[in-house]
Structure 1
Amino acid sequence: MAELAAFEDPKTRRVNEKHGDDHGVNLGKLRALAKRLKTQQDLACRLWETGDSAARLLATLICRPKAFERDTLDAMLREARTPKVHDWLVNYVVKKNPHCEELRLAWSADRDPVVASAGWALTTERVTKRPEGLDLAGLLDTIEAEMKDAPDRLQWAMNHCLARIGIDHPEHRTRAIGIGERLQVLRDYPTPPGCTSPYAPVWISEMVRRQHDK
């Protein structure tokens, strides 16, 4: 904790706070510390219990993802309210855990939109890597009905899923683009030069174009 405190930088904190995060630690330094510590499950659990965001980020890097029980991960996700901790927990821990699919189904149906966004993130992973058994048309039905009025974090996750269905599954591409055009979600999102817009019709078209150019 003392090492993490020494990494604290006011400028980094100001930037992070604009994105809803509450720490001022440079992530490159954090990753270097994790590399030095290597895997330490007990330490990871103790770091998580501090409630400190930088400590929790470090915990996701040095834990053993397969060691967590389902209910433990469920509780951890519900405690992870800042975007970066939430994202790292889902991507670095939950996706590698044997209870991942069970949690995906439970979280997707959760009334808490932040929890539900984790379920949608896991669904997006399956859309791209393991779509077998997914009802893609049904997912598009849900997105079409619910994304427009969803809270920000959940809306972002659903939009990502919409885009990946359009990018990875040509048979659903026209419908995915059409849903994006009708709902207009993130159409005016400020996008830096050289980056792809998160507006689904643009995102889908650009990624498909890149695939064809390879």
Structure 2
Amino acid sequence: MTSLDQALADLAALDDPKMRAANEKRGDDHGINLSQMRALAKKIKTDHDLARELWATGETAPRLLSMLICKVKDFSADELDAMVRETEVPKVNDWFVNYLAKKSPHAEELRLRWFEDADPTVSAAAWSLTSVRVAKTPDGLDLEYLLDIIARDMRDAPTRLQWAMNETLAQIGIFHPDLRERALAIGEKLQVLADYPTAPGCTSPFAPIWIAEIVRRREG
């Protein structure tokens, strides 16, 4: 068993000042190569008690390691609710949403709890969970209502929430042909992420381009 002190010492040994400086430009206050962090997690193996201790430090690197060694199903809905409210750091938020929230047995309960939360970080997590349902288990979702909200709020939403809403818009357009025309029209009208720089070979996050490209791949 790895102790908290040992895990923190191992993380400290991996810290690279140059990587920290690069990460800080993106709002991530850690200096660890994530491949090395994954290797450390593999060495420690699953240890939910240690994961809780690492998260409780409040520091970014320990929290990232925490999410790699925890047992997702052992977190209660209330615990996850408290945790999401502490995920301002971009990488912590990204991993929390994708590694914990989306894989939790409480995902739908949390999606509903978070959807209209006043904290945009929390609301964004709900929209990310909604995107999964739109693509995989849409029964019971009011997709027209979701499009209404997106059309009304996405343009002026805070960045993280805007990205999550935009993903839901794209997923509706991709997976629901009967609503594709409306999804495309909303994207064209709002122009959210229309000018986002996209590397060669990558798909633009601008919803009309995103929808058209994925539909082409799926139906081509």
| TM-score normalised by structure 2 residue count | 0.94
Report the equivalent of 2:126.
119
Q: Distance in 2 between matches of 1:16 and 1:40?
A: 27
Task: Give the match for residue 59 of structure 1.
Answer: 66
Matched, 1:25 2:32: yes
Aligned residues: 213
**Partners in 2 of 1:25 and 1:89 — Cα distance?**
18
Given the alignment of the two structures, is residue 75 of structure 1 paired with residue 75 of structure 2, yes or no?
A: no
Equivalent in the alignment of 2:148: 141
Q: Tell me whether 1:206 sits opposite 2:204 in the alignment.
A: no
Instruction: For residue 25 of structure 1, report the CA deviation from its aligned partner.
Output: 0.8
Match of residue 13, structure 1, among 20, 45, 50: 20
The 3-state SS of whatever aligns with 2:156 is coil
CA distance in 1, matches of 2:177, 2:27: 35
Deviation at 1:149, TM superposition (A): 0.6
The Cα offsets for residues 59-118 of structure 1, whole Å up to 9 and x where unpaired, read as: 111101111111111111111111111121121112222221111111111011111101
Match of 1:3 in 2: 10
Q: Which runs of 4+ in 1 moved over 3 A?
A: none
Q: Which moved more, 1:33-42 or 1:11-20?
A: 11-20
Cα distance, 1:212 vs. partner?
A: 2.2
Aligned with 1:88 (options 89, 95, 98) = 95
**TM-score (normalizing by structure 1):** 0.96
| Residue ranges of structure 1 left out of the alignment (5+ in a row) | none
- Letter paired with 2:52: C
What displacement does 1:31 show? 0.9
CA-CA distance at 1:128 after TM superposition = 1.1
Which among 155, 158, 168 is matched to residue 162 of structure 2?
Answer: 155
SS of 1:173's equivalent? helix
* RMSD of Structure 2 on Structure 1 (CA): 1.0
Between the two proteins, what is the percent identity of the paired residues?
62
Give 5+ residue unaligned stretches, structure 2: 1-7
Q: 1:105 aligns with which of 112, 117, 120?
A: 112
Letter in 1 for 2:162: Q
